[in-house]
């Protein structure tokens, strides 16, 4: 798809657009909206969030001009695997694969939702419409999976401090972080997020069904359908076991064709990126785990607004905070990129809660 018009900054935008699609990291949504000359963009009525975090639609609603009505449309996550293959051509991106299914919702009924849905479906992707943006936002797999995998001590040690061989996000110990303890972490975090969703009036997910049916399935001989369906009803130990089976079953792609040696595609070989020095000589922490910490921190702060105890989320956050403090001490604060130190999640959570209280719940102070 060619770019018809490129604007470096918002000052040159003219009033010919009716839909704004935000493709930035979700924690930049408000910053982007603040730069727009809304008095000159009278036609915009719909905002599409391509990869929001939990509560992003409420946060965006609160940041929009109050004297106008906007449709805020959320996709559960970006629907493709798109990368810039040549750094010298930053406007040329290649999409290598599409998701099987995504979820979509809007803060009100609008034609734009159906337009976006049809555009995504043209790529062969199933699009499921949810009752509210919050329920679409809750169906981003990284919300449940990344924090236990990348905020555990072994993963943080590798990303921030190790010069040794690569380790892989979705492999079992010692090649990666997955252990029975990490599966326990995933179960407990899922339960805490589910409780928050219920308090906000949204339907929680069946984690195993979501992983299998909406992301990547495993062979039926590894996980029976009744185990997937009834996953929320099992005791915690049984849930941990089923998640461990699921990740073990996906060390290789069970649906790939084996080579002449009987080897299947090494599906789980997704290496951790490590902290590195940028062009300005400043240390940067990679998006995984930096964005995962921010996303979980926001969820934890939002839970506090509802007087919810989220001890496991807090424990994962503490893992990261202890590791990053050590990293900054070792590298020197002046040698670290400012993004490492930015923390806006408390203010974001309070804004989301106030907007939720106004539009969804009872107005209370957070």
**Three state DSSP letters for 96-118:** EEECCEEEEEECCCCHHHHHHHH
Read off the pLDDT of each residue in 23-37 and give the average, rounded to a whole number. Answer: 93
pLDDT band for position 145 (cuts 50, 70, 90) = very high
**pLDDT (0 to 100) of residue 1:** 64
DSSP H or E stretch at residue 46: strand 46-49
Q: What is the mean pLDDT of the chain?
A: 94
Global pTM reads 0.94
- Check pLDDT > 70 for residue 277: yes
Reduce the DSSP state of residue 193 to 3 states and report it. helix
Reduce the DSSP state of residue 302 to 3 states and report it. helix
- Check pLDDT > 90 for residue 318: yes
Q: Are 82 and 56 in contact (CB under 8 A)?
A: no
- Check pLDDT > 50 for residue 39: yes
Q: Are 167 and 309 in contact (CB under 8 A)?
A: no
Catalytic residue among 7, 114, 123, 146: 146
pLDDT in tens, 167-187: 999 999 999 999 999 999 999
- CA-CA distance, 75 to 317, in Å (whole number)? 26
Q: Report H helices in 138-179.
A: 141-150, 153-161
Tally of CB atoms within 10 A around 176: 25
Say which CATH superfamily domain 10-138 falls into: NAD(P)-binding Rossmann-like Domain (3.40.50.720)
- Check pLDDT > 90 for residue 3: no
- Check pLDDT > 50 for residue 365: no
**Catalytic status, residue 146:** yes
pLDDT in tens, 217-266: 999 999 999 999 999 999 999 999 999 999 999 999 999 999 999 999 99
- Check pLDDT > 50 for residue 366: no
pLDDT in tens, 76-117: 999 988 888 887 887 788 888 889 999 999 999 999 999 999
**pLDDT (0 to 100) of residue 269:** 96
Output 1 or 253, whichever has higher pLDDT: 253
Output 138 or 343, whichever has higher pLDDT: 138
**pLDDT (0 to 100) of residue 363:** 38
pLDDT in tens, 330-341: 999 999 999 887
Q: Which of 9-13, 22-26, 193-197 has the lowest mean pLDDT?
A: 9-13
Q: Which residues contact 81 (CB under 8 A, 6 or more apart)?
A: 95, 96, 97, 98
**pLDDT (0 to 100) of residue 97:** 82
- CA-CA distance, 335 to 282, in Å (whole number)? 5
**pLDDT (0 to 100) of residue 89:** 83
Residue 138 φ/ψ, nearest 5 degrees: -70, -10
- CA-CA distance, 246 to 149, in Å (whole number)? 14
Domain ranges of the chain: 10-138, 141-364
Q: Are 303 and 255 in contact (CB under 8 A)?
A: no
Read off the pLDDT of each residue in 300-323 and give the average, rounded to a whole number. Answer: 98
Tally of CB atoms within 10 A around 275: 19
Read off the pLDDT of each residue in 277-287 and give the average, rounded to a whole number. Answer: 96
Q: How far is CA 62 from CA 57, 70, 74, 349, 354, in A?
A: 9, 11, 15, 12, 9
């Amino acid at each position: 798809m060619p770019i018809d018009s490129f604007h470096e900054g918002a000052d040159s935008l003219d009033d010919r657009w009716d839909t704004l699609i935000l493709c930035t990291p979700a924690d930049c949504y408000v910053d982007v909206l603040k730069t727009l000359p809304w008095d000159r963009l009278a036609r915009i009525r719909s905002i599409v969030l391509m990869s929001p975090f939990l509560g992003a639609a409420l946060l965006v609603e609160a940041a929009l001009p109050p004297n106008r009505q906007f449709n805020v449309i959320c996709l559960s996550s970006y629907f493709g695997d798109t990368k810039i293959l040549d750094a010298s051509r930053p406007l040329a991106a290649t999409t290598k694969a599409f998701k099987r299914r995504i979820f979509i919702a809007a803060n009100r009924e609008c034609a734009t939702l159906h337009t976006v849905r049809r555009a995504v479906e043209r790529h062969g992707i199933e699009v499921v419409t949810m009752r509210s943006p919050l329920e679409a936002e809750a169906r981003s797999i990284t919300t449940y999976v990344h924090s236990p995998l990348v905020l555990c001590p072994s993963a943080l040690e590798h990303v921030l401090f190790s010069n040794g061989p690569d380790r892989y996000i979705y492999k079992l110990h010692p090649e990666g972080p997955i252990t029975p303890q990490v599966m326990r972490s995933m179960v407990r975090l899922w339960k805490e997020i589910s409780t928050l969703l219920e308090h906000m009036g949204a339907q929680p997910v069946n984690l195993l069904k979501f992983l299998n049916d909406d992301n990547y399935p495993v062979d039926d001989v590894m996980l029976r359908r009744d185990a997937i369906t009834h996953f929320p009803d099992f005791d915690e130990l049984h849930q941990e076991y089923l998640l461990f089976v699921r990740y073990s079953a996906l060390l290789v792609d069970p649906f790939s064709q084996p080579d002449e040696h009987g080897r299947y595609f090494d599906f789980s070989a997704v290496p951790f990126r490590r902290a590195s020095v940028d062009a300005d000589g400043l240390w940067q922490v990679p998006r995984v785990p930096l964005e995962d910490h921010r996303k979980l921190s926001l969820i934890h702060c939002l839970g506090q607004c509802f007087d919810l105890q989220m001890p496991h989320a807090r424990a994962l956050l503490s893992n990261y905070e202890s590791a990053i403090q050590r990293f900054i001490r070792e590298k020197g604060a002046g040698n670290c990129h400012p993004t490492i130190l930015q923390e806006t999640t408390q203010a974001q959570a309070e804004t989301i809660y106030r907007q939720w209280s106004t539009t969804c719940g009872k107005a209370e102070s957070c």
